[in-house]
Every structure is written in C-alpha cells, then in structure tokens.
Chain A
Amino acid sequence: MERGNGVAVGVEAISKEFPGHVALKGVDLEIEARSFTTLLGPSGCGKTTLLRILAGFETATSGRVTFDGRDIARMPSWKRNIGFVFQNYALWPHMSIRDNIAYGLKLRKLGKEQIAERVAESLRMVGLDGRAEAFPGQLSGGQQQRVAIARALALRPNVLLLDEPLSNLDAKMRIGMRQELLRLQREVGITAVYVTHDQEEALEMSDQVAVMHDGRIDQVGSPQAIYETPETAFVASFIGHVTLLGGVSDGAGGFRPDLPIAGTLPAFSGALPNGRAQLVLRPEDLDLVDDVEQAHLRGTLVRSSYHGRGYRSALRLADGTMCEVDHRRPVAAGTGEEAGIRVGAAALVPESDDYYREAAPEAEAAEELVAAPAA
C-alpha cells in the first residue's frame, strides 16, 4: 500500500451564510498532511457545514480552502479527489457492493483488472471480502458503513472526510470501529477530517482536535491540550463534566476565587488569563476528604454513587454551585453532611457564561436542518 496520498488542508477565514442563519463565522484551520483531525462540537456548531465545504458540497460565502496550498474554493467536489463517508452511509441501493465501490474507479477509467483488484483490496481492508455481490439492503448497519469507507478509500483520495460515520452504530461496534478506522487511515496514509459530537471519540482517535462552537473554532490542539489546558469555558465544559468557579486571575499564576479557598492550589498549566477568570475543576482531578481542614473547598454532600473503580459524589458549594468529585475510597460523611474537596490539578479560562450545557433535544433537530441542503 503506497503512502503519501494525503494532502495538507488549509481553511482560511471561511464563512457560510444560509438564508436567515450564519453557520460559520470566519473559521481558520490548518490540517497537516496524513493527520487525523476531528471537528468536535455540539449540534448546530457548524462542524458539518465546514466538512461539506471541504467536500465541495457547499460553497463558502467567503474564505479560502486549500489542498497542499492550492486554492480549491472554486473546484467542484467531483474534481477534488476526496472520499466522503456519510452518517447515513449513502450506499446506492440499486447497485451491488462491488458496483458501489467500483463506481468511482470506473469514472477514473481504470482497467477492468485494476478495478477488480482495488475492489477486492478495499473489501479485504474493511473485512468484508466475499460480500461483493450482496446489495446494501442485505447488510447490517455496521457492514454498510464499512462498505461506505471501502468505497471512499478505494479511490486513494487525498482527503477522507467523515461525517459522524459511527453515530448510527451500536455502542460496542462503535468502539471497535474507532480503532479500525484509525488503523485504515494510518495504513493508507491519508489526511482524515472527522466530524463528531462525541468527545470520547475525538480524544481517542485524533492527532488534532478542533472544538467548534457557534460557527467558530474555539480551540485547536492535541487531545491532551484540549483536555488539560482548555482555553475557553466552552471547551472546558464540552470535554467531560467540569465545575467552573469564578474569580480574578493576575495573569502570572495567581488566582483569587470569589469563594474562599483554603490553602494553595497546584500550579496552572497553559495560558493564563488576566482579569476575571474561571477555575476549571474536573471530577477526576479532585479528591474527597473527610478532614475538612485539609480541603481546598467545602461542600454539602448531595449524592454519592459507586461505579466500579471508585465513587462519584456531588457536593453543593457555599454559593450553590454543584461540584462533582471522583474518589477511590468511601467517605464517612453521609448525605447532607459537610465534606472537603482537594484539588489535584486545575486550569484557568477567561470568565464566560457561554459554556456547554447538556443539549436540549431541539438542538438535534436544528442540526439536521442545517445539514440538509436548502431544506
């Protein structure tokens, strides 16, 4: 298998307006050749629109898209040499699996033997050899998605674009497919751009994660950077459960919280805001202690539950904020009693009330409307 098909993708100041709705508000992104980049964000954040612009299905209202530095903004999708994997697979139901995969190859005027070879190779890669004569309707959802991936990869595209490809699969298959997808991407050496709203998927698979929110990219970075040093309250709150505590940062590592915190907090990593800021606390970076004197924070225990390797407890802090804490050992305090929280690590972000709250079901519907062209 040859390597090096993948191109570097550049996104410069891309905006996209739909009638009565702005989907993208000036997005910049650099994607290294042969890397795996995830566009992560909640429904309606514009991630699918950005992906469709990369594919050429939508035309940006303004901005540039480059493949290896060449502007392709005006190039139609059928000339871009991309592979696109749809959330709903979009296999052509009137064609056999073989014809589905061979379709693009025939368009490239490859020889008969070469086509047969490529089809077989692609099916082998996704573990479906022997199903070439089946029709899409005869396959399970997971198998259909493998065919869709095989169809995209058979063309040896420059970029593989994936639009929530695993979201229609069941949980177990989804986890298995993550590794398989990653293996395929590495094997073929292709640039992959992957859209998802599942932060676990994003962290597990990506070289680079771009967290999108309200038509903008909030932060781009490695999964570790995104997780450990979020730059905005939104990024922090979208990746896992967090507790945000307001205060004032001096920009040099000092932070004065609105709530009294006893003792000294561990040093913050990443960029330090100056002025009003929020302390980002993750349950897994906190510990619950019985001895409130040793604690940074105190709260009233609201609930506590065991989940295998430890406990997760929720406490109400003095200002009413709920704080979740993971801890290995049980605590003596009962529900309604006071307990102490120790902070093992924390990050600081500029204060904002624009953070992620659990998506309401309506938001899902809104995303679909955006995704369907001109609907």
Chain B
Amino acid sequence: MPSNDLRERVEPLEETLAPPAPVPVKRRASRRPGVWLLVALGLLLLLASTIVLPQLRLVGEAFTDDGGFSFANFIEFFTTPRFQEAILNSLVVAVVAGVLACAVAVPAAYVLAQFDLPGRNGFLTLATMATVSPPFLGAYAWVLLLGRGGILTTQLRAWGIELPFDTIIGPGGIVWVTVWATQALVFLLAYDAFRAIDPSLDEASSSVGAGPWRTRLRIVLPMAVPALVTGFYMSSMKIFTDFGTPLIIGGGTPMLPTAVYYEFLSEVSTNPAIASAGSLVMLGVACIALALQQWALRRRTYASVSSRRRPLQPVRGVKKGLMIAYLGVVFGLSFVPHLVVVGTSLLTWKAGILKWIPTFDNYVRLFDENLEVILMSLLLAGIACVLCVIVAVLVAYLTVRRRYTVISPALNVITMVPYIIPGTVLAIGLILAFGSGPLILTGTATILVLAYFIRRIPYVTKSIEAALTQVHPALEEAAMSVGAKPMRAFRQITVPLVRPAIVSGGTVGFLQMVTELSATVMLYSVPFITMTVVIFTNAMQPASPFGVASAMTVVLMLAVYIPLYFVRRKFASVTSV
C-alpha cells in the first residue's frame, strides 16, 4: 500500500490546518461569525420587514391616546365588561378545545403508530386531508345539520329521537367544530412522534415488569410530549384566533377575535385604538402560550437516535375492530363538513334556501365562469409554500439547534406573531406598508404570496421544529467530524432526516394557503382571483347562490387533494411506515 501521507493527498484539508500561529492563550476562544449567524441575521431582517414592520401601526395605535403615549386603551379594554367576557370565553374555549382535540387525536395516532392495522396509509392520507376544512362553509355545514332547524335535528325529531341539546349553536358548537377541524393536526404530530420512539424504550419498560398500559402512560406518552404540547398549542391557538367559526356557530357568544374584529372593521362604529390594544392582548396571550410551549419542550431532552424502525404489533379480533371503528369515527366526524359541502353542491339553492332537488347546475354555473382561478390559487399558494418551507426550516433549526441569545428567541417570537393577527388586520397592515412608498405591492400577486407566506409561517415552523427536536445533534456532529461544514451538514444530514416533517408541514401549509380567505378578500384584485374568493362571493349574503360556493369548494378540495395524493405517494416511504 502506498505510504504517502494523507495530508499530501487531501489538499483542501491541508490548507485548513492553520500554521502554528503565535496566538497567545486567549481568555475567550472566539469562533468566527459563522454562516449560520449571517443566515440568522438575514432571516431576522426579512421577517422583521414583512411581519413586524407592517404591523407597527397596531402598536402605535394601541399605546396612543390623545396624541400621547398611554395605557388608556389597555385599561379601557380590560375594564369593559364585553371584552372581559370575551377574554374569558376565548380562553376557556381554547383550552377545552385543545384538550379535547388531543384527547381525540392522540389515542388514534397511537393505535395507528403501534398496531398493524389495515388501511394505514389511507388513514394517514385522510389525516392530512382532514387538516383542510372547507373554508368558510365548515361551521356552516354543522349548523345546517345540527342547528335547531337543522337537517339531522329535524329528521331525528321526526323519528322521535331527541338530541341531548336543542341546537349546536353556542359555545359548545364552537368547541365541537374546532375539535374536529384541528384534531388532524395533533394526530399527524403525535403519529410522527410515536413512530420515532425507539422501540427499545418500551421493550425496556416491559422488561422491568411494566404492563402495556403502564408502558404507554409512563414511557410512550411522555416521549411524545413535545408533539402533544405543540399539537395542543396549535389547536387551541387556532380557535383563540379564529373569527369565522364563532361568528357562524357561536350564537352571539362574545369571543375575543370577533370582538376585536368588529372594533377594527364594524360597519357601525370602529375604534382602532381599542382594537389594536385588543390585538396586542391576544398577541400577549399567544406569547405566553408560546413561552409555556417552549418551556415544556425544553425540559425534554432529545428523543432517541436509534435507527431501528419501530415494529408494528399484530392485533386481531374485537380489539382490531374497535381500533378501526375508533379511527373511522374520528375521521368520519372530521369530514362531515366536506361531505355536507359535496351534498349541497349537488342540490338546488334558491335565494340561499336549500331545496331537495338534485342538480348539476351549480357546477355548470361554475364552469361558465373562468377556471383560471384554480391555477391562480395553486400557483400563488405553491410559491408561498416553497418560500415558507425554506424559511421555516431555517428558523426552526436556528431556534432548536443554534440558540443565539437574542436572535433565536426574536425569530421565534416574530414567526409566531402572524398566528394571532386576524387575516383581515394583517391585510390592512400590508396595504398600508406596501400601498405606497418605495415598494408598491398592492394590486399585485406578490402581496397575496406575501400574505400567505406570513399567515402560514407559524404552522410550518412549529411542525418542523417538533421534528428537529427528535433528531439527535450527534448526527450532525458526526458529519462535521468527517469534514462537512455546518451548512452542508445541515443540508445533507439534518434536512433529509426531518424531510417527513418538511413534507407534511409544507403540504398542510400549502393546503391552508389555498384555502386562505380573510386576507385574500382584502388584498386580491383582478386578475388575481382565487378559488376562495369565488366561494366567498357566492356565499357572502344570505340570499347568495350557496350551491355555486359549495361546488367551487368541492373543486377546491379536489384541486388540493389530487396533488396531495401524489405527494403522499411519492413520499410514502418517508412519511409512513
């Protein structure tokens, strides 16, 4: 074997071995500002200018009274009974809905992650599909079924069956709709977490004599806590900031998003100062929730680094039947709005009233209008989604792995800001920031892309973050030890390892962008018309042609589910098994 020295052969390394520098012993050996620090600063700049800057008006308004700095708006906000009531209702509903969504989704995720059940991939696909609810019509579908005069309520009453409630309208209805609309998010996070748990951990547990239930509660569940915390956080924050659901199904229950929304945009009387203060209060609550979530995550050390795949346990008989039935019920209820929309799209509507006359007219009317909106929606959301994933991966990495003292928490908070800003308010901020001045974006497609990017960055970041905490840092260190620079190690080791989360987070983000409504209706302009705009304009007034809106919704669902199906198929080997 040739005896030439390695260092002769491998030149790039030779030059990197620094000459014996006459460096005195430094008190603090400092590292050069790495590429990552530059990336972090760049991201901070980008996010600050697109997320924070446009919303600064909000902060200004909130702290101004009679032209000077003041807390008066906050004092008024907290002392006004209707806001007090709204805060309390929103908090209670958020926590209850979050807990119930977890309670529903976690057993389902566990069952599917642990046992060898038929149709696993089908359920996983359903879960991803269920993260998208028909925009605008979701809560409406439940009212249509279970309102006091609802189809199901009336039918059951005709059969002499009394429901335990008069109507679904009310705070309970908000919780109900939210649970079924958000459980799939929790399900996907929990499923990924359960699949990632080192099988030897529960083997170890049973080896020391713990029964299966004890193992589940004491070993498996705690390992999935990061995902659960994130899932709970996301579903409770979703309802905490959701405007449409309480409006349609709340029956006038005072809720924070509606109260703040009307202070901003009521046709009767607005008070932007109080509304801004209210938004900041929501932001504050969201920050506290975020801090709690981070605190809960930080106390967990990394999950395993095992490369063993978790085996699926065989199960048969009644147990198997019960498991499948449970999954069926959970996903069945999540798809009620979808099914109702399909049903109503095939029925005749007259002046906003449903007639039991089957028809294809709604689709005919839809196809009379231009169908470019489908492509437009997919294109805008697609671009926004790619940007969103890239930024989210970087931000998640910076917050999980490279905890720069100031920059990382700042990035973390900034990416969460859009979570609590109502889409409409966000849109107004964007119009004010980019409607004049050096960069005019109003009236362009870019402003829609920007809005989608901003609105979904929190979700995509959180889901990738959850996955990153499960990848042991040693895997990246190993790459650096064999000569990979940090960026390369990140791209070639870390990114592929969190690819399932990138794919599922990106997919869900994309689906949510395609269905985004509240910012779109404030920002869109001809010819950049999306499917949600068509749905919305056909459903905005009580006498509107809902059938056309339903038909467009069905088309929208197909337009997102078909690409979703191919994505899942392509990545099936990564996202499932």
What chain A residues lie within 8 Å of B28 (beta carbons)?
61-62
Chain A interface secondary structure, helix, strand, loop or mixed?
A: loop
Chain B interface secondary structure, helix, strand, loop or mixed?
A: loop
Asked if B350 is at the interface (CB within 8 A of a chain A CB), the reply is no
A84–B477 CB distance below 8 A: yes
A90–B20 CB distance below 8 A: no
Spot the interface stretch: B1-9, B322-330, B375-383.
Answer: B1-9
Asked if B266 is at the interface (CB within 8 A of a chain A CB), the reply is no
What chain B residues lie within 8 Å of A2 (beta carbons)?
1-6
Given contacts A63-B25, A70-B20, A81-B17, A93 and B6 within 8 Å (CB-CB): no
A90–B16 CB distance below 8 A: no
A78–B478 CB distance below 8 A: no
The listed residue with most B CB atoms (<10 A of its CB), out of A4, A84, A148, is A84
- Chain A interface residue number, banded: 35 or more
B25–A93 CB distance below 8 A: no
A66–B31 CA distance with the chains assembled, in angstroms: 16
Cβ-defined partner of A78 (8 Å) among B23, B472, B484:
B484
Asked if A72 is at the interface (CB within 8 A of a chain B CB), the reply is yes
The listed residue with most A CB atoms (<10 A of its CB), out of B23, B481, B483, B492, is B481
Cβ-defined partner of B478 (8 Å) among A3, A84, A368:
A84
B484–A107 CB distance below 8 A: yes
* Minimum distance in angstroms from A322 CB to a CB of chain B: 31
What chain B residues lie within 8 Å of A75 (beta carbons)?
16-18
Given contacts A71-B20, A79-B13, A136-B307, A103 and B479 within 8 Å (CB-CB): yes
Spot the interface stretch: A52-60, A194-202, A297-305.
Answer: A52-60
Asked if B29 is at the interface (CB within 8 A of a chain A CB), the reply is yes
Given contacts A62-B29, A76-B31, A107-B488, A90 and B17 within 8 Å (CB-CB): no
B25–A135 CB distance below 8 A: no
* Minimum distance in angstroms from A348 CB to a CB of chain B: 35
A91–B476 CA distance with the chains assembled, in angstroms: 10
Asked if A104 is at the interface (CB within 8 A of a chain B CB), the reply is yes
Cβ-defined partner of A82 (8 Å) among B2, B12, B481, B484:
B481
Asked if B305 is at the interface (CB within 8 A of a chain A CB), the reply is yes
Interface residues, chain A, CB within 8 Å of chain B?
1-5, 12-13, 55-57, 59-64, 66-67, 69-79, 81-84, 86, 88-94, 103-104, 107-110, 135-137, 144, 148, 151-152, 155-156, 158, 161, 368-369, 372-375
Report, nearest first, the 8 A-B pairs whose CB atoms are least far apart: A104-B482, A93-B307, A79-B16, A84-B481, A90-B474, A136-B307, A156-B6, A90-B478
Q: Could you list 20 further interchain pairs (A-B, Cβ under 8 angstroms) beyond the known A107-B483, A151-B478?
A: A55-B481, A62-B25, A66-B20, A70-B17, A74-B18, A74-B29, A74-B32, A76-B31, A76-B485, A78-B482, A79-B13, A79-B16, A90-B474, A103-B484, A104-B484, A110-B10, A144-B307, A148-B478, A372-B301, A372-B302
8 cross-chain CB contacts under 8 A: A74-B32, A78-B480, A79-B13, A94-B496, A103-B492, A104-B482, A104-B483, A368-B301
Interface residues, chain B, CB within 8 Å of chain A?
1-7, 10, 12-13, 16-21, 23, 25-32, 34, 301-302, 305-309, 403, 472-475, 477-486, 488-489, 492-493, 496-497
